[in-house]
Amino acid sequence: MELTINHQIRSFDPAPSSLEELLVLELSGKTQGVAAAINNHVIPKDDWAKTTLKPHDQIILITASQGG
């Protein structure tokens, strides 16, 4: 399956079954401070496991960081 993650096209075989599975692959399971949106719709963290992905979805992942 082809997905666009933060404006970069990525191919997955096998395809992740949910947004949560994708985040485990992409972020090594470190999801604290992460926000995710699919096709310009923010997905609440409680819904990640039940949010399925479709080919060519546009996914934006944002990670909070400290700064000053």
User: For residue 14, what is the domain's CATH number?
Assistant: 3.10.20.30
The answer to whether position 22 is within a domain reads yes
The answer to whether position 21 is within a domain reads yes
Taking the CB of residue 51, how many other CB atoms lie within 10 A of it? 17
Q: Give the number of domains in the chain.
A: 1
For residues 29-58, give the mean pLDDT. Answer: 95
- For 41, the token pair is 């719709």
The answer to whether position 68 is within a domain reads no
For residues 31-51, give the mean pLDDT. Answer: 96
Half-sphere exposure of 42 (CA within 13 A, CB side): 5
The answer to whether position 54 is within a domain reads yes
Q: Would you place residue 64 in the very low, low, confident or very high pLDDT band (cuts 50, 70, 90)? A: confident
User: Across the beta sheet with 58-63, what order do the strands follow?
Assistant: 8-11, 2-5, 58-63, 34-38, 41-43
The answer to whether position 38 is within a domain reads yes
Contact 34, 63 (CB under 8 A): yes
The answer to whether position 28 is within a domain reads yes
Q: Which domain holds residue 22?
A: 2-63
